[in-house]
Amino acid sequence: MPALGSSDTHMTSVDDRRAKRNVAVLVAAQAFLGAQMPMIFLVGGLAGTSLASNICLATLPISMIVLGSMLAATPVSAVMQKYGRRTGFFVGAIGGAVGGAVAAHGLYLASFPVFLLGSFFTGIYMSAQGFYRFAAADTASDEFRPKAISYVMAGGLVSAVIGPQLASATSESMVVPFLGTYLAVVVLNVIGSALFFFVDIPKPPLPDVDGPRARTRWELLTTPRIAVAVICAMVSYALMNLVMTSTPLAVVGCGYTQTTAGYVVTGHVLAMFAPSFFTGHLINRFGVEKIVGLGIAILGAAGLVALQGVELGNFFVALILLGIGWNFGFIGATTMLAGAHGPHERGRMQGLNDLLVFGGVTVASLASGGLMNCSGGSPVEGWAAVNLAMVPFLVLAGGSLLWLVLRPTTQAAE
């Protein structure tokens, strides 16, 4: 039995007991620290509406978070590769605390640029949080890997409850609207970062002179399985963000209250993470490609429901389907990627993956506000434009996955 080393020792073999301990810590981090993301996504667009001089820029704070996440992905991954996951997670929590404090200061000053700067720093936390799922797989066996990833994602189920409730309790707690929410984000990061002292994930082994050569970024991206995994992850996450970012604006714009918008977002985030309790089992039983394909199909169904009308039931059903589709598509794509590269390629590939994924999410979040507020004469027309924009990207993801599935058969026939 391999010895249980500290996070600063090199991993020599896989031990699922260690993996299960790490999963428990990462689930807690996803639940507690992760609560800041639904909090910010719920109030960010509304706060932006109150500060921006142009309503078309209302969702720019959300876009800045995603842009920060995209730009932080490669450096954060490099820090984890060199110094270990624990150090990288601490960097993320510091970024989240700084982001919350600066955004709060921007609200106090009624300064949109300062608020945007705080949102950008929040992206550092979002980037680090994205690596929780990869960290869960680091010490897991091949059989436990999809379950480990999905269990960590399931921690978001708790954050889906805590986040919107904290946002509702704090958004009007001070004279300046939403100021209390961002101060609460600072507290979450400071207290929650203590969890990372219990992470026990070895640093990747140093490259062996006689070991396999690490592939270049281009070689990795042109590996068919990796390419399709990245495309499906990009599409799943970007489309989820595209629709979710506009949801509070659409719900309030169609005559419902901010509290009702919070309930819709809560339902969506619950649907994002609740399936994680069995997604890993489904992947093991039916294969990762089928689960990713099912996720893409459910995302399409979410758009169809949203286009049927703006009754409250349509919002709830569409956003629940959107969450489930994201879960299957994103966890499935993550599992595909985690099994397609070696430990010595981890820092390079995972950082590149999240750079591309959050690059797509940045574009989606930027487009969301414009489509919602500036592509029609009413919130109804804007909401329709947001959902119609999903179509070409669903075709891209579905087509690439189909190509991957048919490719071995074609090669065998040739």
Contacts of 93 (CB under 8 A, 6+ apart): 33, 125, 128, 189, 190, 192, 193, 196
From 236, 187, 185, select the one nearest 39 (Cα to Cα): 185
* In contact, 117 and 102? CB cutoff 8 Å: yes
Query: What is the torsional sign of CA 235, 137, 36, 354?
Result: negative
Count Cβ atoms within 10 A of the Cβ of residue 298 and give its class: 0-12 exposed, 13-18 middle, 19 or more buried: buried
- Residue by residue, pLDDT tens for the chain (414 residues) are 344 334 444 443 455 888 899 999 999 999 999 999 989 988 888 888 888 888 777 778 888 998 898 899 889 988 998 899 999 999 999 999 999 999 999 999 999 999 999 999 999 999 999 899 889 888 888 888 888 888 888 888 888 788 888 988 998 889 898 999 999 999 999 999 999 999 998 877 665 655 566 788 888 888 999 999 999 999 999 999 899 888 888 998 898 887 888 789 888 988 988 888 888 889 989 999 999 999 999 999 999 999 999 999 999 999 999 999 999 999 999 889 888 877 777 777 888 888 898 888 888 877 887 788 787 778 899 999 999 999 999 999 999 999 999 986 544 333
Residue 171: phi, psi to the nearest 5? -60, -35
- CA dihedral angle for residue 205, residue 358, residue 330, residue 193, rounded to 10 degrees: 60
Phi, psi torsion values for 61, nearest 5 degrees: -60, -40
Check residue 182 and give its pLDDT.
Answer: 95
Instruction: Report whether 173 contacts 187 (CB < 8 A).
Output: no
Give me the pLDDT at residue 13, please.
44
The two tokens of residue 325 are 């589709």
Q: What is the pTM of this model?
A: 0.74
Q: Supply the angle between the helices 288-306 and 276-286 in degrees, to the nearest 10.
A: 130
Provide Rg for the chain, Cα atoms. 21
Q: What is the DSSP letter of 197?
A: G
CA distance 43 to 171: 8
- Per the CB < 8 A criterion, the answer to whether 305 and 175 are in contact is no
In angstroms, the CA 91 to CA 60 distance is 24
Question: Over 323-350, what HEC string results?
Answer: HHHHHHHHHHHHHHHHCCCCHHHHHHHH
* CATH architecture label of 16-203+215-413: Up-down Bundle (1.20)
pLDDT at 160: 78
Q: Are 106 and 118 in contact (CB under 8 A)?
A: yes
Please, are residues 23 and 152 in contact by the beta-carbon 8 Å criterion?
Answer: yes
Report phi then psi at 3, rounded to 5. Answer: -70, 150
| E strand or H helix that includes residue 163 | helix 156-170
**296 neighbors 401 (Cβ within 8 angstroms):** yes
User: Rounded to whole angstroms, how far apart are CA atoms 46 and 321?
Assistant: 24
Distance CA 308, CA 388 (A): 12
pLDDT at 209: 57
| CA–CA separation, 27 and 320 (whole Å) | 22
DSSP for residue 131 = T
Nearest to 218 by CA among 358, 345, 66, 344: 345
